[in-house]
Amino acid sequence: MTNPRETSPSGNARPESTPPETETGFVTTRREGRVAVITLNRPEALNAITIAMAAELARVVRALEVDDSVGCLLIRGEGRHFCAGADIKEAIPVAFPRTLTGNYLADLGTLGECRKPVVAVVSGAALGGGCELALMCDMILADETARFGLPEIRLGTMPGAGGTQRLPQAIGKARAMEMALTGRPMDAAEAQSAGLLTRIVPAGRLQDEAMALARSIAEASLPAAMAIKEAIAVTPDGLTQGLRLERRLFHALYATADRREGMEAFSEKRTAVFQHK
Ligand code: DAK
C-alpha cells in the first residue's frame, strides 16, 4: 500500500518508479478476500483530489466493478482525514473554457455509478468533493472525529460532484440548504442524527468494523447484492438531470472573479474578499 514518492517542482508528490504516465500513486488498492479496499493516499494534502487522481480513482472503480472476484468496495483516506475535497491549489488557474472542454473533474462521479456495494470509512474531514464521495457510497461508517461539509461557497464556488443532489436526499432540503449555503460542517453526532451515517464506531475499531461489514456483504451472493443495491438506490427521475445541471453550473462559476479570489485566498491562508461578480 506504500508508494515511493518524490516531490515535483510544483510541490505535488509523484511516484518515483515508472508507472504509466497517468498513474499518480495517490490511489492505492488492496484486497482482503472478496473485499477491495481503495485508499486515497495523499495525506500531506488531506487526500485532496487532483484531476489525475480523480481519473485514477475512476479507472480503479471501473476495474473492480467488472472483477468477478470482488463483492464489495471499501473506500478510506490515509492518515487522519478521509478527504478535504478537490485540490484547490490545482484549481486556481483552471479557466472556464477548460472546464467545459475537459469536463473538469467529471471522473469523480464514477464512484457514484458503481453497481457493486460501496462502503465509505470516514475519519476527520469529508469536505467538498470528499463529502460528495462519501455520499456516493451506499453506507458510511464514521468515527467521532468525522465531519461532513460542503464549504465550496466559501471559495466562491459550489458543489459539483452530486452534493446538491444527494445531500438533500440523505438529510432533507432544509439542512442541506443550510450546509451548502453557509459551508458549516456537521460533526459525526449531527450526521448520525440527520441520517447520513450507518453508524459511528470508536476510532480504534473503525477499520476493523468496516472490514467486517464489507466482508459480510462480499460473501453474500453478488447478483443478489447488486440487485438489492439497484433497487434501494433507485432515485427520483431528476437525479441524472440534476447532476448534469450541477456540473455545468459548477463549471460556469469558473468564469467568475469570486471563484478565483476564493481559491487564491485559501492557498494564501487569508479570508476571501468577494466582489460578487
Ligand atoms: N486542496 C488543496 N490543498 C489542501 C486542501 C484542498 N482541498 N485541503 C487541505 N489542503 C492542504 C493545505 O493547504 C495544507 O497544505 P500546506 O499549507 O501544508 O502546504 C495541508 O493540506 C494541511 O491543511 P491545513 O493546514 O489547512 O489543515 P487544518 O487542519 O488547519 O485544516 C481543513 C483542515 C480540512 C479544515 C482545511 O484544510 C480546509 O478547509 N481545506 C479545504 C476544504 C475545502 O474547501 N474543500 C472543498 C474544495 S472544492 C466536481 C467534482 C468535485 C468537486 C467539484 C466538481 N465535478 C464532478 C464537476 C469538488 C470541489 C471541492 O471539493
Where residue 58 sits, what CATH number does that domain have?
3.90.226.10
Q: Is residue 275, in this structure, part of any structural domain at all?
A: no
Q: How many CB atoms lie within 10 A of CB 230?
A: 10
Distance 19 CA to ligand 1 centre (A): 26
Distance 88 CA to ligand 1 centre (A): 6
Using CB distances shorter than 6 Å, the residues near ligand 1 are 45-46, 48, 84-89, 104-106, 108-109, 125, 127-129, 151-152, 155, 160-161, 247, 250
Q: Is residue 191, in this structure, part of any structural domain at all?
A: yes
Domains held by the chain: number: 1
260's CB contacts (< 8 A; 6+ apart) are: 92, 156
- Four-residue CA torsion sign, 73, 116, 167, 277: positive
Q: Is residue 83, in this structure, part of any structural domain at all?
A: yes
Q: Is residue 216, in this structure, part of any structural domain at all?
A: no
Q: Helix, strand, coil % (nearest 5) of the chain?
A: 45, 15, 35
Q: Is residue 210, in this structure, part of any structural domain at all?
A: no
Q: How many CB atoms lie within 10 A of CB 217?
A: 23
Cell of 122: 470516514
Spatial separation of the C-alpha atoms in residues 71 and 117, rounded to whole Å: 7
pLDDT along the chain (277 residues), means of 10: 36 39 82 98 98 97 97 98 98 96 95 98 98 98 98 98 96 97 98 98 97 98 96 82 95 97 98 97
Q: Is residue 88, in this structure, part of any structural domain at all?
A: yes
CA-closest residue to ligand 1 atom 50? 161
Nearest C-alpha neighbor of 74 from the set 243, 222, 206: 206
Domain that holds residue 111: 4-204+221-267
270 secondary structure, DSSP code: S
Q: Is residue 263, in this structure, part of any structural domain at all?
A: yes
pLDDT of 9: 32
Q: Is residue 86, in this structure, part of any structural domain at all?
A: yes
Question: Which residue, chain included where needed, has cell 464514477?
Answer: 110
